Structure 1
Amino acid sequence: MTPLLTPHDLEVALELRDLSDPAGGPHAMQLLLGDVLAALTGAWHCALDVQRRRPLVSVEDNYDRLGYAAADVTRDARYSRYAAETVMLRSHTSAGVAPALRALAGTRAADPEIDVLLALPGLCYRRDTIDRLHVGTPHQVDLWRITSTRRLGPDDLQQMVELVVGAVLPGARWRTSPVRHPYTTQGLQVDVRTPSGWVELAECGLVAGHVLAGAGLDPDRYSGLALGMGLDRALMVRKGIADIRVLRSTEPRIAAQLLDLAPWRPVSSQPPVRRDLSIVVDAPVDAELLGDAVRTALGPEVEALESVTVLAGTTYADLPDTARRRLGLGQDQVNVLLRLVLRPLAGTLTDQRANELRDRVYAAVHRGPHREWASS
């Protein structure tokens, strides 16, 4: 049976603000998305249809109608968040593509000639590691141009990449490399050159015929381009922000800088506070699940957490008997050395408070019979 989200965890997820949505207040992410949409529709002279769909989606739309195989590891509850056996929090904004295409197919009688850019921005929900570039609730946008007026091909896809990169990071060098998606053909990964090196910005491809056909659009008559982009990463690249936590900060000196696309002016940073935990976990060790458990344990105070890193993992067989007894380690368990790096974006963190946060994480992830507290 698929493990399901608790009512509390589901409520917390659904209450999280979508920074790309003006309904929650202004944010630089909205400006960046607007620049991208203006660049594409200005060059293509096509219609624009921005759709903000609910985060709860059918598993069928999230996976099946896009062509994911039943055995794909991405479906596993270790990585996806299920509210019911057939309903989940979307793992990507592509989950809205199938219903958007079905709705588009329903308009054919009134308007048989279609040339539209479908834009589907919003939050996605995953289990992920914790570091300066990753969160469990990233913002994405899917950009799908669907047309019956001409046959779109690789040259059009290259133009789309050029327009998107130019809107996100004007003048930047970019490159592509082949990548496979179940819902596109001739898929590409798009990287941009930044002062810190090459950074992945987006993935794209020609819309696969089976996706169009499944929505009721004849692939012999309709063709399309599909591009998915992480909006958090795009905004960080544009403004020169190194830490993804900055994007949600409510600290006035930081929040004021998140209302425009001007270069980021660093706010004085605090020194990192490190806490290493020796914990017992069930095998196999999964950094994504550990990261998700840590986020849940800290709740809103996760903003103080810069990263969680598995430094080492030692199996039952590789530990001496004295260490096994001291830890209470079972044969199907692993002794993990876990490092927390705490660094608030603003303000200071006392040793006592760092120990309290460390103990909350310890209580959430340690599966051994013996416990060692830092704040007692």
Structure 2
Amino acid sequence: MSVLTVEELHAALALRDLTDPAQGPHAVQLIVDSIRTSLGAAWPYTEIWTRRDHPVVPLADNYDNLGYATDAVTREARYTRYISDTEVLRSHTSAMIPPALRELAKSDASDVLMICAGICYRRDSVDWQHTGTPHQLDLWRISRNVTLGEPELEEMIARLVDTILPGQTYRTVPAVHPYTIHGRQIDVLLDDQWIEIGECGVAAPHVLRMAGLDESWTGLAMGPGLDRLLMLRKGIRDIRLLRSTEPRVASQMLDLLPYKPVSSMPPVRRDLSVVVGASADVSAEVLGDKVRAALGPDADAAESLEVLGETSYDDLPTAARERLQLTPGQRNLLVRLVLRPVDRTLTDAEANSLRDKVYRALHEGPVMELIAS
């Protein structure tokens, strides 16, 4: 099993958590505050518990105690950042829920709203709405006074959308989660595209029982993405802007007013022809993680990464096989890398240097051949 190096762990923990007021103000915190206020008004007799746990969590709380199967794909090191055999950097804020449920089981409380916000660590694609370090919010209402089910879930969804994205068209579609029943995905319509803003459902009874809560308890579970909510609220079409230190951008990340674009930097496109093995994972998430790791402190310069084409050994012309020195089973990928820092224009030399780092991270063939455009 692959685990993070000490340097990788320190770099991950050094990244600012935009939800944490102790690390400075940010509009993400205003989203959390608005939701807390709205749900508090809707449920005036419900206690509000707010948690902010360390991002290094037990593997069991990240997966087992939320009902994940032992062979769930998401547990693999290509998706999860392992610290050791028993600890990980949390992949979702839901990792804070099992200890909160155990605390509830030992308390005298009878109706609680758990609010858990924070940064998470994933392998993810490189595009305008994804990052490997998203900010999430878990909202779990657990009660033994009120039976909580689908009608209450519908009301909770409506209140969330009306609070943060008033007037927006939304829908829910069925979704399966190990920690819910009657699971839903919540989408909001942006232009002509449905954008996912979170997932939810009725809290799965077996998750409550594992924490020591008996059959008298029911609950609702919701996990909206805070980055996505803020971007939709302010009209931002580039997730990298949320962390920008460019003064004209950063000053706009302190409120929920519509975003006013600053001068746009020109994109630099580089097309790479890379060779990968027969069993290589070329999913957007895995490739995205490789690109971020290769670029290191310059990772935010990558605006997007897209696989334009994939050709097997058998389908390549003989001349191309010989030029690339492919062996049977290998594949040739054409990948488009778009580079555009939010605060400056890249020189050709800088762009080519970044391109070369990405090429070396993705290419598995013996011939180093770069194709730029």
Q: Distance in 2 between matches of 1:237 and 1:300?
A: 27
1:94 alignment partner in structure 2? 94
Once the two structures are superposed, what CA deviation does each residue of 1:311-370 show, in whole Å capped at 9, x if it has no partner? 112222222333223213233422111111111212211111111111111122222222
**Shift, 1:194, TM fit:** 3.2
Gaps of 5+ in 1: none
Cα RMSD of the aligned pairs, angstroms, is 1.6
Distance in 2, matches of 1:280 and 1:191, equals 37
Percent identity over the alignment? Answer: 56
- When residues 373 and 186 of structure 1 are mapped into structure 2, their CA distance, relative to the original with a 3 A threshold, is closer
Distance 1:287 1:178, change over 3 A: closer
TM-score (norm 2): 0.95
Q: Which residue of structure 1 aligns with residue 341 of structure 2?
A: 344
Show the 5 A alignment for 1:185-196. Answer: 185-196=181-192
**Aligned CA distance change for structure 1 residues 349 and 52 (closer, same or farther; 3 Å):** same
- Give the residue type in structure 2 aligned to 1:272: P
Matches within 5 A, 1:162-181: 162-181=158-177
Residue type of the partner of 2:258? Answer: P
Aligned to 2:350: 353
For the pair 1:265 / 2:260, whether they are aligned, the reply is: yes
1:280 corresponds in structure 2 to 275
Residue of structure 1 in register with 2:4 after alignment: 5
Match of 1:198 in 2: 194
CA-to-aligned-CA distance 1:79-123 (integer Å, 9 cap, x gap): 11112122111111111111110111121xxx2x41111011111
- Structure 2: segments with no counterpart, 5+ residues: none
What's the CA shift for 1:307? 0.3
Seen in structure 2, the aligned counterparts of structure 1 residues 270 and 101 have a Cα distance that, compared at 3 Å, is same
Q: Which amino acid aligns with 2:236?
A: I
DSSP 3-state at the match of 1:318:
coil
Corresponding residue for residue 104 of structure 1 = 104
1:124 maps to: 120
Residues 359 and 374 in structure 1, CA contact (< 8 A), matched pair in contact too? no
Contact 2:277–2:364 (8 Å) recurs in 1: yes
Which residue number corresponds to residue 114 of structure 1? 110
Match of 2:211 in 1: 215
Distance 1:296 1:83 in 2: 17
CA spacing shift, 1:76–1:277, aligned 2, 3 Å = same
Structure 1 counterpart of 2:153: 157
Which deviates further from its counterpart, 321-330 or 222-231? 321-330
Confirm or deny that 1:69 pairs with 2:69: yes
What is the aligned length? 369
TM-score, structure 1 length as denominator? 0.94
- Aligned residue among 236, 242, 249 for 1:247: 242
1:362 matches 2:351: no
Query: Cα deviation per residue 1:247-292 (whole Å; 9 max; x = unaligned)?
Result: 0100000000000000010111122110011112223333322211
Q: Which SS does the other structure have where 2:314 is aligned?
A: helix
Report whether the alignment pairs 1:335 with 2:332. Answer: yes
Whole-angstrom distance in 1 between the partners of 2:370 and 2:158? 54
